[in-house]
Structure 1
Amino acid sequence: MNSKVIKIGIVQQANTVDIEANICKLEKNIKDCAANGVQLVVLQELHNSTYFCQTEDVDVFDLAESIPGSSTRRFGALAKALSIVLVTSLFEKRAPGIYHNTAVVFEKDGSIAGKYRKMHIPDDPAYYEKFYFTPGDLGFKPIETSLGKLGVLVCWDQWYPEAARLMALQGADLLIYPTAIGWESTDSADEKKRQLDAWMISQRGHAVANGIPVVSVNRTGHESDPSGQTNGIQFWGNSFVAGPQGEILQQSSSDQEENQVLEVSISHSEDVRRIWPFFRDRRIDAYKKILKRFVD
Protein backbone atom coordinates (compact mmCIF):
# COMPACT_ATOMS: atom_id res chain seq x y z
CA MET A 1 0.00 0.00 0.00
CA ASN A 2 1.27 3.50 -0.80
CA SER A 3 2.41 5.44 2.24
CA LYS A 4 1.05 8.94 2.74
CA VAL A 5 2.88 11.02 5.32
CA ILE A 6 2.11 14.59 6.37
CA LYS A 7 4.68 16.77 8.09
CA ILE A 8 2.86 18.74 10.78
CA GLY A 9 3.84 21.77 12.85
CA ILE A 10 2.06 22.60 16.11
CA VAL A 11 2.44 25.98 17.82
CA GLN A 12 1.99 26.10 21.61
CA GLN A 13 2.08 29.74 22.65
CA ALA A 14 1.49 32.01 25.67
CA ASN A 15 -0.52 35.17 24.95
CA THR A 16 -0.87 38.66 26.41
CA VAL A 17 -3.45 41.42 26.04
CA ASP A 18 -1.37 42.87 23.16
CA ILE A 19 -3.13 41.35 20.15
CA GLU A 20 -0.68 42.66 17.56
CA ALA A 21 2.23 41.23 19.54
CA ASN A 22 0.43 37.88 19.78
CA ILE A 23 -0.15 37.77 16.03
CA CYS A 24 3.44 38.76 15.24
CA LYS A 25 4.66 35.96 17.50
CA LEU A 26 2.28 33.53 15.79
CA GLU A 27 3.64 34.55 12.40
CA LYS A 28 7.20 34.01 13.60
CA ASN A 29 6.32 30.59 15.01
CA ILE A 30 4.48 29.55 11.85
CA LYS A 31 7.49 30.59 9.77
CA ASP A 32 9.74 28.61 12.10
CA CYS A 33 7.64 25.50 11.48
CA ALA A 34 7.61 26.14 7.73
CA ALA A 35 11.41 26.43 7.72
CA ASN A 36 11.43 22.81 8.88
CA GLY A 37 9.45 21.69 5.85
CA VAL A 38 5.98 21.29 7.35
CA GLN A 39 2.92 20.98 5.13
CA LEU A 40 0.33 21.64 7.85
CA VAL A 41 0.44 24.03 10.82
CA VAL A 42 -2.13 23.97 13.64
CA LEU A 43 -2.66 26.85 16.09
CA GLN A 44 -4.37 26.94 19.49
CA GLU A 45 -7.91 28.13 20.22
CA LEU A 46 -8.60 31.89 19.99
CA HIS A 47 -4.92 32.48 19.36
CA ASN A 48 -5.05 36.21 18.60
CA SER A 49 -5.93 37.25 22.14
CA THR A 50 -5.99 36.12 25.72
CA TYR A 51 -8.73 33.67 26.64
CA PHE A 52 -11.35 36.35 27.33
CA CYS A 53 -14.08 33.98 28.52
CA GLN A 54 -12.93 34.12 32.15
CA THR A 55 -15.45 36.95 32.59
CA GLU A 56 -18.63 38.23 30.95
CA ASP A 57 -17.93 41.64 29.43
CA VAL A 58 -19.94 43.13 26.56
CA ASP A 59 -16.96 45.24 25.45
CA VAL A 60 -15.12 42.04 24.51
CA PHE A 61 -17.40 41.62 21.52
CA ASP A 62 -15.37 44.40 19.92
CA LEU A 63 -12.60 41.81 19.42
CA ALA A 64 -14.77 39.79 17.03
CA GLU A 65 -14.28 40.09 13.28
CA SER A 66 -15.94 39.05 10.08
CA ILE A 67 -14.85 36.03 8.04
CA PRO A 68 -13.44 36.91 5.55
CA GLY A 69 -11.82 39.80 7.40
CA SER A 70 -8.53 41.22 8.60
CA SER A 71 -7.23 38.02 10.21
CA THR A 72 -8.20 35.79 7.32
CA ARG A 73 -6.43 38.13 4.90
CA ARG A 74 -3.31 38.15 7.05
CA PHE A 75 -3.13 34.42 7.76
CA GLY A 76 -4.21 33.56 4.23
CA ALA A 77 -1.34 35.61 2.83
CA LEU A 78 1.06 33.84 5.18
CA ALA A 79 -0.22 30.39 4.19
CA LYS A 80 0.28 31.31 0.54
CA ALA A 81 3.76 32.74 1.07
CA LEU A 82 4.84 29.59 2.93
CA SER A 83 2.78 27.17 0.78
CA ILE A 84 1.26 25.46 3.82
CA VAL A 85 -2.19 24.40 4.96
CA LEU A 86 -2.95 26.41 8.10
CA VAL A 87 -5.57 25.78 10.82
CA THR A 88 -6.55 28.93 12.71
CA SER A 89 -9.10 29.76 15.43
CA LEU A 90 -10.95 33.09 15.36
CA PHE A 91 -13.68 35.03 17.18
CA GLU A 92 -16.20 35.45 14.38
CA LYS A 93 -18.77 38.25 14.12
CA ARG A 94 -21.44 36.82 11.87
CA ALA A 95 -24.08 39.50 12.45
CA PRO A 96 -25.03 41.91 15.24
CA GLY A 97 -25.63 39.72 18.29
CA ILE A 98 -24.43 36.52 16.59
CA TYR A 99 -20.85 35.50 17.29
CA HIS A 100 -19.05 32.19 16.89
CA ASN A 101 -15.88 30.45 17.99
CA THR A 102 -14.72 29.52 14.50
CA ALA A 103 -11.82 27.51 13.12
CA VAL A 104 -10.73 28.61 9.64
CA VAL A 105 -8.56 26.40 7.45
CA PHE A 106 -6.43 27.95 4.72
CA GLU A 107 -5.24 26.12 1.64
CA LYS A 108 -1.61 26.50 0.60
CA ASP A 109 -2.64 29.03 -2.07
CA GLY A 110 -4.01 31.27 0.69
CA SER A 111 -7.68 30.63 -0.03
CA ILE A 112 -10.13 29.58 2.68
CA ALA A 113 -10.59 25.83 2.35
CA GLY A 114 -13.39 25.81 4.89
CA LYS A 115 -14.46 26.70 8.39
CA TYR A 116 -15.95 25.00 11.42
CA ARG A 117 -18.02 26.72 14.09
CA LYS A 118 -17.61 25.25 17.56
CA MET A 119 -20.65 23.12 18.33
CA HIS A 120 -20.35 22.35 22.05
CA ILE A 121 -20.23 25.55 24.10
CA PRO A 122 -19.26 25.30 27.80
CA ASP A 123 -20.52 27.48 30.61
CA ASP A 124 -18.43 26.90 33.71
CA PRO A 125 -16.55 29.11 36.17
CA ALA A 126 -13.78 30.91 34.20
CA TYR A 127 -15.11 29.39 30.94
CA TYR A 128 -18.20 31.54 30.30
CA GLU A 129 -18.38 30.79 26.60
CA LYS A 130 -22.16 30.73 26.29
CA PHE A 131 -22.12 34.48 26.94
CA TYR A 132 -20.02 35.02 23.81
CA PHE A 133 -20.62 32.19 21.35
CA THR A 134 -23.66 31.02 19.46
CA PRO A 135 -23.46 27.23 18.96
CA GLY A 136 -22.18 26.24 15.54
CA ASP A 137 -24.57 25.43 12.73
CA LEU A 138 -22.22 23.95 10.11
CA GLY A 139 -22.36 20.48 11.62
CA PHE A 140 -19.54 17.98 11.84
CA LYS A 141 -18.10 17.96 8.34
CA PRO A 142 -14.42 17.44 7.43
CA ILE A 143 -12.73 20.21 5.50
CA GLU A 144 -11.27 19.19 2.15
CA THR A 145 -7.66 20.27 1.58
CA SER A 146 -4.79 19.32 -0.68
CA LEU A 147 -3.44 17.20 2.19
CA GLY A 148 -6.66 15.31 2.81
CA LYS A 149 -9.85 15.69 4.82
CA LEU A 150 -9.31 17.50 8.13
CA GLY A 151 -11.80 16.79 10.91
CA VAL A 152 -11.45 20.14 12.67
CA LEU A 153 -13.21 20.50 16.03
CA VAL A 154 -12.58 22.99 18.86
CA CYS A 155 -11.71 22.49 22.54
CA TRP A 156 -14.90 21.47 24.41
CA ASP A 157 -15.80 19.37 21.38
CA GLN A 158 -12.89 17.10 22.30
CA TRP A 159 -14.86 15.46 25.11
CA TYR A 160 -17.63 14.21 22.80
CA PRO A 161 -17.13 10.88 21.01
CA GLU A 162 -20.13 11.60 18.80
CA ALA A 163 -18.34 14.54 17.18
CA ALA A 164 -15.19 12.56 16.50
CA ARG A 165 -17.19 9.62 15.13
CA LEU A 166 -19.19 11.76 12.72
CA MET A 167 -16.01 13.33 11.38
CA ALA A 168 -14.44 9.91 10.92
CA LEU A 169 -17.55 8.46 9.26
CA GLN A 170 -17.29 11.21 6.65
CA GLY A 171 -13.74 10.31 5.80
CA ALA A 172 -11.63 12.58 8.02
CA ASP A 173 -7.93 11.69 7.75
CA LEU A 174 -7.06 13.59 10.94
CA LEU A 175 -8.92 14.90 13.97
CA ILE A 176 -7.68 18.39 14.93
CA TYR A 177 -8.51 20.18 18.18
CA PRO A 178 -7.40 23.80 18.72
CA THR A 179 -7.68 24.16 22.50
CA ALA A 180 -7.53 26.51 25.49
CA ILE A 181 -7.69 24.58 28.76
CA GLY A 182 -5.93 24.90 32.08
CA TRP A 183 -5.96 24.58 35.85
CA GLU A 184 -7.54 26.71 38.54
CA SER A 185 -4.95 27.65 41.17
CA THR A 186 -6.85 26.07 44.08
CA ASP A 187 -6.83 22.61 42.47
CA SER A 188 -4.60 20.12 44.28
CA ALA A 189 -1.67 18.49 42.49
CA ASP A 190 -3.62 15.21 42.36
CA GLU A 191 -6.67 16.94 40.88
CA LYS A 192 -4.53 18.67 38.27
CA LYS A 193 -3.07 15.32 37.23
CA ARG A 194 -6.54 13.75 36.99
CA GLN A 195 -7.78 16.57 34.77
CA LEU A 196 -4.79 16.45 32.44
CA ASP A 197 -4.92 12.67 32.23
CA ALA A 198 -8.65 12.73 31.44
CA TRP A 199 -8.09 15.32 28.71
CA MET A 200 -5.44 13.23 27.01
CA ILE A 201 -7.19 9.90 27.52
CA SER A 202 -10.42 11.22 26.00
CA GLN A 203 -8.74 12.36 22.80
CA ARG A 204 -6.50 9.33 22.53
CA GLY A 205 -9.70 7.30 22.85
CA HIS A 206 -11.11 9.10 19.80
CA ALA A 207 -7.97 8.12 17.89
CA VAL A 208 -8.39 4.47 18.88
CA ALA A 209 -12.16 4.26 18.36
CA ASN A 210 -11.89 5.79 14.88
CA GLY A 211 -8.49 4.54 13.77
CA ILE A 212 -7.13 7.99 12.84
CA PRO A 213 -4.49 10.35 14.25
CA VAL A 214 -5.42 13.21 16.60
CA VAL A 215 -3.70 16.61 16.76
CA SER A 216 -4.47 18.67 19.89
CA VAL A 217 -2.88 22.11 20.32
CA ASN A 218 -3.27 23.92 23.65
CA ARG A 219 -1.97 27.26 24.87
CA THR A 220 0.42 27.64 27.79
CA GLY A 221 1.19 30.32 30.37
CA HIS A 222 -0.83 32.07 33.09
CA GLU A 223 -3.65 34.46 32.25
CA SER A 224 -5.10 36.56 35.04
CA ASP A 225 -8.81 37.02 35.73
CA PRO A 226 -9.69 40.59 34.67
CA SER A 227 -12.33 40.74 37.42
CA GLY A 228 -9.87 39.72 40.12
CA GLN A 229 -12.38 37.25 41.54
CA THR A 230 -10.15 34.24 40.86
CA ASN A 231 -6.43 33.66 40.48
CA GLY A 232 -6.82 33.18 36.74
CA ILE A 233 -6.01 30.15 34.62
CA GLN A 234 -2.71 28.33 34.27
CA PHE A 235 -3.00 26.81 30.81
CA TRP A 236 -1.48 23.37 30.93
CA GLY A 237 0.09 23.11 27.48
CA ASN A 238 0.88 19.45 26.75
CA SER A 239 -0.09 19.84 23.10
CA PHE A 240 0.19 16.41 21.55
CA VAL A 241 -0.24 14.22 18.52
CA ALA A 242 -1.52 10.66 18.87
CA GLY A 243 -1.50 7.91 16.26
CA PRO A 244 -4.50 5.75 15.29
CA GLN A 245 -3.85 3.32 18.15
CA GLY A 246 -3.68 6.14 20.67
CA GLU A 247 0.10 6.08 20.77
CA ILE A 248 1.73 9.40 21.67
CA LEU A 249 3.82 10.57 18.73
CA GLN A 250 4.70 14.00 20.13
CA GLN A 251 3.96 15.87 23.36
CA SER A 252 4.90 19.38 24.44
CA SER A 253 5.75 20.54 27.94
CA SER A 254 3.21 22.02 30.34
CA ASP A 255 4.80 25.44 30.78
CA GLN A 256 6.97 26.29 27.77
CA GLU A 257 6.18 27.92 24.45
CA GLU A 258 7.14 25.36 21.82
CA ASN A 259 6.96 24.70 18.11
CA GLN A 260 6.90 20.97 17.44
CA VAL A 261 7.40 19.35 14.05
CA LEU A 262 6.71 15.71 13.24
CA GLU A 263 5.68 13.36 10.47
CA VAL A 264 2.35 11.55 10.72
CA SER A 265 1.36 8.63 8.52
CA ILE A 266 -2.17 9.01 7.20
CA SER A 267 -2.12 5.71 5.32
CA HIS A 268 -1.36 3.81 8.56
CA SER A 269 -5.02 4.24 9.50
CA GLU A 270 -5.90 1.66 6.87
CA ASP A 271 -3.58 -0.87 8.51
CA VAL A 272 -5.07 -0.22 11.94
CA ARG A 273 -8.66 -0.46 10.75
CA ARG A 274 -7.91 -3.85 9.20
CA ILE A 275 -6.83 -5.30 12.55
CA TRP A 276 -9.36 -3.33 14.63
CA PRO A 277 -12.48 -3.24 12.40
CA PHE A 278 -14.65 -1.13 14.71
CA PHE A 279 -16.51 0.41 11.79
CA ARG A 280 -17.40 -3.03 10.46
CA ASP A 281 -18.81 -4.19 13.79
CA ARG A 282 -20.83 -1.10 14.71
CA ARG A 283 -24.45 -2.00 15.51
CA ILE A 284 -26.03 0.88 13.64
CA ASP A 285 -29.43 -0.81 14.03
CA ALA A 286 -29.24 -0.49 17.84
CA TYR A 287 -28.14 3.09 18.44
CA LYS A 288 -31.36 5.06 18.02
CA LYS A 289 -31.52 6.02 21.70
CA ILE A 290 -28.26 7.94 21.38
CA LEU A 291 -30.35 10.73 19.87
CA LYS A 292 -32.23 11.24 23.17
CA ARG A 293 -31.06 13.69 25.83
CA PHE A 294 -31.45 10.98 28.50
CA VAL A 295 -32.89 7.47 28.43
CA ASP A 296 -35.26 6.80 31.33
Structure 2
Amino acid sequence: MQVALVQLSATSDPDDNRKQVDEVLGRLDGSDRLDLVVLPEASMRDFGDPDDDLAADAETLDGPFVTLLAQHAQRLDATVVAGTFERPTDGTGAAESDRSLPYNTLVALGPDGSLRAAYRKIHLYDSFGYLESERLSAGAVSPVVVDVAGRRVGLMTCYDLRFPEMSRMLVDAGADVLCVPAAWVRGPLKEDHWETLLRARAIENTVDVIAADQCGRYVGRTMAVDPLGVVVASAGEAPGVVRASLTTDRLTLARRTNPSLANRRITSGSTGGAPA
Protein backbone atom coordinates (compact mmCIF):
# COMPACT_ATOMS: atom_id res chain seq x y z
CA MET A 1 0.00 0.00 0.00
CA GLN A 2 1.45 3.35 -1.08
CA VAL A 3 0.91 6.10 1.49
CA ALA A 4 1.47 9.86 1.58
CA LEU A 5 1.43 11.55 4.99
CA VAL A 6 0.92 15.31 4.95
CA GLN A 7 2.49 17.48 7.64
CA LEU A 8 1.12 21.02 7.81
CA SER A 9 0.35 23.87 10.18
CA ALA A 10 -3.32 24.83 10.15
CA THR A 11 -4.64 28.27 11.08
CA SER A 12 -7.87 29.34 12.76
CA ASP A 13 -9.36 30.40 9.40
CA PRO A 14 -11.17 27.56 7.58
CA ASP A 15 -10.93 29.41 4.25
CA ASP A 16 -7.15 29.69 4.55
CA ASN A 17 -6.88 26.04 5.51
CA ARG A 18 -8.91 24.88 2.52
CA LYS A 19 -6.53 26.82 0.28
CA GLN A 20 -3.53 25.27 2.02
CA VAL A 21 -4.94 21.74 1.77
CA ASP A 22 -5.93 22.31 -1.85
CA GLU A 23 -2.39 23.41 -2.68
CA VAL A 24 -0.60 20.56 -0.92
CA LEU A 25 -2.91 17.89 -2.30
CA GLY A 26 -2.75 19.54 -5.71
CA ARG A 27 1.01 18.90 -5.76
CA LEU A 28 0.34 15.16 -5.52
CA ASP A 29 -0.03 13.46 -8.88
CA GLY A 30 -2.28 10.56 -9.79
CA SER A 31 0.70 8.96 -11.52
CA ASP A 32 2.20 8.40 -8.06
CA ARG A 33 -0.34 5.58 -7.70
CA LEU A 34 -1.08 6.46 -4.10
CA ASP A 35 -3.55 4.32 -2.19
CA LEU A 36 -3.90 6.44 0.95
CA VAL A 37 -3.29 10.11 1.74
CA VAL A 38 -3.45 11.19 5.39
CA LEU A 39 -3.67 14.74 6.74
CA PRO A 40 -3.48 15.75 10.42
CA GLU A 41 -6.16 16.21 13.04
CA ALA A 42 -7.86 19.62 12.84
CA SER A 43 -6.72 20.25 9.26
CA MET A 44 -10.00 22.02 8.58
CA ARG A 45 -9.36 24.51 11.40
CA ASP A 46 -6.74 24.61 14.12
CA PHE A 47 -7.84 24.41 17.75
CA GLY A 48 -6.61 27.97 18.24
CA ASP A 49 -6.78 29.58 21.67
CA PRO A 50 -8.65 27.76 24.46
CA ASP A 51 -11.50 30.29 24.30
CA ASP A 52 -11.97 30.02 20.51
CA ASP A 53 -15.49 28.96 19.55
CA LEU A 54 -14.97 25.81 17.50
CA ALA A 55 -18.72 25.35 17.11
CA ALA A 56 -18.94 28.52 15.03
CA ASP A 57 -16.69 27.02 12.34
CA ALA A 58 -17.77 23.37 12.57
CA GLU A 59 -19.17 21.91 9.36
CA THR A 60 -21.45 19.04 8.46
CA LEU A 61 -19.98 16.06 6.61
CA ASP A 62 -21.14 17.48 3.27
CA GLY A 63 -19.60 20.89 3.95
CA PRO A 64 -16.86 22.73 2.02
CA PHE A 65 -13.89 20.97 3.64
CA VAL A 66 -15.11 17.41 3.10
CA THR A 67 -16.24 18.32 -0.41
CA LEU A 68 -12.70 19.51 -1.20
CA LEU A 69 -11.22 16.26 0.12
CA ALA A 70 -13.67 14.24 -1.98
CA GLN A 71 -12.57 16.06 -5.13
CA HIS A 72 -8.91 15.28 -4.48
CA ALA A 73 -9.68 11.66 -3.57
CA GLN A 74 -11.34 11.24 -6.97
CA ARG A 75 -8.52 13.01 -8.80
CA LEU A 76 -5.85 10.89 -7.11
CA ASP A 77 -7.92 7.68 -7.21
CA ALA A 78 -6.97 7.25 -3.56
CA THR A 79 -8.52 7.23 -0.10
CA VAL A 80 -8.03 10.54 1.74
CA VAL A 81 -8.23 10.82 5.55
CA ALA A 82 -8.22 14.16 7.38
CA GLY A 83 -9.41 15.80 10.59
CA THR A 84 -12.33 18.21 10.80
CA PHE A 85 -14.72 19.62 13.39
CA GLU A 86 -18.14 18.18 12.69
CA ARG A 87 -21.37 19.99 13.46
CA PRO A 88 -23.85 17.54 15.03
CA THR A 89 -26.97 16.82 13.00
CA ASP A 90 -30.39 15.49 13.91
CA GLY A 91 -31.89 12.34 12.42
CA THR A 92 -32.83 14.12 9.20
CA GLY A 93 -29.31 15.43 8.52
CA ALA A 94 -30.23 18.99 9.49
CA ALA A 95 -27.77 20.84 11.71
CA GLU A 96 -28.58 20.81 15.42
CA SER A 97 -28.63 23.85 17.65
CA ASP A 98 -25.48 25.96 17.73
CA ARG A 99 -25.38 25.14 21.45
CA SER A 100 -24.37 21.55 20.65
CA LEU A 101 -20.65 20.88 20.96
CA PRO A 102 -19.10 19.65 17.72
CA TYR A 103 -17.17 16.41 17.25
CA ASN A 104 -13.46 16.08 16.55
CA THR A 105 -13.92 13.89 13.50
CA LEU A 106 -11.75 12.02 11.03
CA VAL A 107 -13.31 11.57 7.61
CA ALA A 108 -12.23 8.96 5.07
CA LEU A 109 -13.13 9.71 1.45
CA GLY A 110 -12.87 6.82 -0.99
CA PRO A 111 -11.35 6.94 -4.51
CA ASP A 112 -14.85 7.57 -5.88
CA GLY A 113 -15.23 10.61 -3.63
CA SER A 114 -17.78 9.00 -1.35
CA LEU A 115 -17.62 9.25 2.44
CA ARG A 116 -16.42 5.80 3.51
CA ALA A 117 -16.19 6.48 7.24
CA ALA A 118 -16.36 9.13 9.93
CA TYR A 119 -14.53 8.49 13.20
CA ARG A 120 -15.47 10.78 16.10
CA LYS A 121 -12.62 11.04 18.59
CA ILE A 122 -13.29 8.90 21.65
CA HIS A 123 -10.63 10.13 24.08
CA LEU A 124 -10.77 13.90 24.41
CA TYR A 125 -7.56 15.62 25.47
CA ASP A 126 -8.30 16.44 29.11
CA SER A 127 -4.65 16.32 30.08
CA PHE A 128 -1.52 18.43 30.50
CA GLY A 129 -3.69 21.29 31.80
CA TYR A 130 -6.03 21.33 28.78
CA LEU A 131 -9.74 20.42 28.62
CA GLU A 132 -10.82 19.42 25.12
CA SER A 133 -14.13 18.21 26.55
CA GLU A 134 -15.15 21.81 27.26
CA ARG A 135 -15.15 22.51 23.51
CA LEU A 136 -15.95 19.19 21.83
CA SER A 137 -18.15 16.11 22.27
CA ALA A 138 -16.72 12.61 22.55
CA GLY A 139 -17.71 9.97 20.02
CA ALA A 140 -19.21 6.57 20.74
CA VAL A 141 -16.83 3.79 21.78
CA SER A 142 -16.83 1.81 18.55
CA PRO A 143 -14.00 0.79 16.19
CA VAL A 144 -13.88 2.41 12.77
CA VAL A 145 -11.94 0.42 10.16
CA VAL A 146 -11.67 1.23 6.44
CA ASP A 147 -10.62 -1.09 3.59
CA VAL A 148 -7.77 0.38 1.53
CA ALA A 149 -5.85 -1.51 -1.17
CA GLY A 150 -6.35 -4.90 0.47
CA ARG A 151 -5.43 -3.64 3.94
CA ARG A 152 -7.67 -2.83 6.90
CA VAL A 153 -6.97 0.65 8.27
CA GLY A 154 -8.13 1.50 11.79
CA LEU A 155 -8.73 5.17 12.61
CA MET A 156 -7.68 6.87 15.82
CA THR A 157 -6.90 10.49 16.72
CA CYS A 158 -4.02 12.01 18.68
CA TYR A 159 -4.75 11.46 22.41
CA ASP A 160 -6.27 8.04 21.57
CA LEU A 161 -2.66 6.95 21.12
CA ARG A 162 -2.14 6.97 24.89
CA PHE A 163 -4.75 4.24 25.38
CA PRO A 164 -3.46 0.80 24.29
CA GLU A 165 -6.94 -0.67 24.56
CA MET A 166 -8.00 1.64 21.73
CA SER A 167 -5.51 0.21 19.26
CA ARG A 168 -6.23 -3.34 20.42
CA MET A 169 -9.96 -2.75 19.85
CA LEU A 170 -9.18 -1.74 16.27
CA VAL A 171 -6.92 -4.75 15.72
CA ASP A 172 -9.62 -7.04 17.10
CA ALA A 173 -11.95 -5.45 14.52
CA GLY A 174 -9.55 -6.52 11.77
CA ALA A 175 -7.18 -3.56 11.42
CA ASP A 176 -3.62 -4.35 10.30
CA VAL A 177 -2.74 -0.66 9.87
CA LEU A 178 -3.34 2.05 12.48
CA CYS A 179 -3.84 5.56 11.08
CA VAL A 180 -3.20 8.36 13.59
CA PRO A 181 -3.86 11.95 12.47
CA ALA A 182 -2.80 14.27 15.30
CA ALA A 183 -2.17 17.76 16.59
CA TRP A 184 0.34 16.66 19.24
CA VAL A 185 1.14 19.77 21.26
CA ARG A 186 4.76 20.63 21.99
CA GLY A 187 5.99 20.41 25.57
CA PRO A 188 8.50 18.76 27.92
CA LEU A 189 9.13 15.17 26.73
CA LYS A 190 6.14 15.37 24.36
CA GLU A 191 8.25 14.60 21.26
CA ASP A 192 9.63 11.53 23.02
CA HIS A 193 6.15 10.42 24.09
CA TRP A 194 4.93 10.77 20.49
CA GLU A 195 7.52 8.51 18.90
CA THR A 196 7.62 6.05 21.81
CA LEU A 197 3.86 5.53 21.78
CA LEU A 198 3.67 5.19 17.99
CA ARG A 199 6.38 2.52 18.06
CA ALA A 200 4.79 0.79 21.05
CA ARG A 201 1.40 0.54 19.34
CA ALA A 202 3.11 -0.96 16.28
CA ILE A 203 5.19 -3.47 18.26
CA GLU A 204 2.51 -4.68 20.68
CA ASN A 205 -0.06 -5.17 17.89
CA THR A 206 2.35 -6.20 15.09
CA VAL A 207 0.77 -3.65 12.73
CA ASP A 208 1.92 -0.75 10.58
CA VAL A 209 1.31 2.63 12.20
CA ILE A 210 1.06 5.76 10.06
CA ALA A 211 0.85 9.11 11.81
CA ALA A 212 0.33 12.58 10.30
CA ASP A 213 0.93 15.38 12.78
CA GLN A 214 0.61 19.13 12.57
CA CYS A 215 3.76 21.23 12.90
CA GLY A 216 4.27 24.81 14.06
CA ARG A 217 2.87 24.82 17.59
CA TYR A 218 2.83 21.01 17.43
CA VAL A 219 5.71 18.52 17.39
CA GLY A 220 5.56 17.50 13.73
CA ARG A 221 7.63 14.32 13.30
CA THR A 222 5.05 12.72 11.03
CA MET A 223 6.13 9.11 10.53
CA ALA A 224 5.43 5.58 9.40
CA VAL A 225 6.38 2.69 11.71
CA ASP A 226 6.48 -0.93 10.55
CA PRO A 227 5.10 -3.93 12.52
CA LEU A 228 8.50 -4.57 14.12
CA GLY A 229 8.69 -1.01 15.43
CA VAL A 230 11.12 0.36 12.83
CA VAL A 231 10.55 3.97 11.76
CA VAL A 232 10.65 3.58 7.98
CA ALA A 233 9.89 7.18 7.02
CA SER A 234 9.66 10.42 9.00
CA ALA A 235 9.55 14.21 8.83
CA GLY A 236 11.15 16.86 10.96
CA GLU A 237 9.36 19.98 12.16
CA ALA A 238 8.63 21.70 8.83
CA PRO A 239 5.65 21.24 6.51
CA GLY A 240 6.05 18.50 3.94
CA VAL A 241 4.89 15.13 2.66
CA VAL A 242 6.26 11.77 3.83
CA ARG A 243 5.96 8.75 1.54
CA ALA A 244 5.89 5.14 2.72
CA SER A 245 5.27 1.73 1.20
CA LEU A 246 3.54 -0.76 3.49
CA THR A 247 3.98 -4.42 2.57
CA THR A 248 2.11 -7.49 3.72
CA ASP A 249 5.42 -9.40 3.58
CA ARG A 250 6.73 -7.29 6.45
CA LEU A 251 3.46 -7.80 8.35
CA THR A 252 3.68 -11.58 7.88
CA LEU A 253 7.31 -11.63 9.00
CA ALA A 254 6.51 -9.64 12.13
CA ARG A 255 3.64 -11.90 13.12
CA ARG A 256 5.67 -15.04 12.46
CA THR A 257 8.60 -13.67 14.47
CA ASN A 258 6.47 -12.26 17.28
CA PRO A 259 3.10 -14.08 17.41
CA SER A 260 1.97 -12.12 20.45
CA LEU A 261 -1.58 -11.66 19.17
CA ALA A 262 -1.96 -15.42 18.78
CA ASN A 263 -0.30 -16.09 22.15
CA ARG A 264 -2.30 -13.70 24.29
CA ARG A 265 -4.42 -15.20 27.07
CA ILE A 266 -6.24 -12.04 28.16
CA THR A 267 -8.87 -10.66 25.81
CA SER A 268 -11.80 -8.27 26.15
CA GLY A 269 -14.03 -11.28 26.72
CA SER A 270 -11.88 -12.86 29.41
CA THR A 271 -13.65 -13.54 32.71
CA GLY A 272 -10.77 -14.89 34.77
CA GLY A 273 -10.65 -18.10 36.69
CA ALA A 274 -9.56 -21.54 35.52
CA PRO A 275 -10.50 -22.73 32.05
CA ALA A 276 -13.43 -25.10 31.77
TM superposition score normalised by structure 1: 0.82
| 1:264 equivalent in alignment to 2:246 | yes
Amino acid at match of 2:156: L
Q: In the TM superposition, what are the counterparts of 1:46-61 in structure 2 within 5 Å? A: 46-52=42-48, 54-57=49-52, 59-61=53-55
2:161–2:197 contact (8 Å) kept in structure 1: yes
Q: Give how far 1:281 is off.
A: 1.3
2:45–2:84 contact (8 Å) kept in structure 1: no
CA distance 1:138–1:73, change in 2 (3 Å): farther
| 1:238 equivalent in alignment to 2:221 | yes
- Give CA deviations for 1:1-41 in whole Å, capped at 9, x if unaligned: xxxxx111011012233322221221221232335332210
Residue in 1 aligned with 2:93? Answer: none
Q: Give how far 1:262 is off.
A: 2.1
Q: Any idea what SS the aligned residue of 1:50 has?
A: coil
Q: In the TM superposition, what are the counterparts of 1:61-80 in structure 2 within 5 Å? A: 61-80=55-74
| 1:151 equivalent in alignment to 2:171 | no
CA distance in 2 between counterparts of 1:32 and 1:197 reads 31
Q: Which range moved further: 123-132 or 76-85?
A: 123-132
List runs of 5+ in structure 1 lacking aligned partners: 1-5, 185-190, 222-233, 291-296
Amino acid at match of 2:39: L
List runs of 5+ in structure 2 lacking aligned partners: 89-95
CA distance in 1 between counterparts of 2:129 and 2:65 reads 26
Q: Any idea what SS the aligned residue of 1:86 has?
A: strand
Q: In the TM superposition, what are the counterparts of 1:145-224 in structure 2 within 5 Å? A: 145-184=148-187, 191=188, 194-221=189-216
Q: Any idea what SS the aligned residue of 1:279 has?
A: helix
**Aligned length in residues:** 262
Residue in 1 aligned with 2:259? Answer: 277
CA distance 1:92–1:259, change in 2 (3 Å): same
Residue in 2 aligned with 1:37? Answer: 33
Structure 2 counterpart of 1:253, from 236, 246, 252: 236
Q: In the TM superposition, what are the counterparts of 1:103-122 in structure 2 within 5 Å? A: 103-122=106-125
CA distance in 2 between counterparts of 1:83 and 1:126 reads 42
Residue in 1 aligned with 2:126? Answer: 123
CA distance 1:43–1:126, change in 2 (3 Å): farther
1:44–1:180 contact (8 Å) kept in structure 2: yes
CA distance in 2 between counterparts of 1:34 and 1:126 reads 42
Amino acid at match of 2:74: K
Q: Percent identity?
A: 24
Amino acid at match of 1:212: V
CA distance in 1 between counterparts of 2:22 and 2:268 reads 48
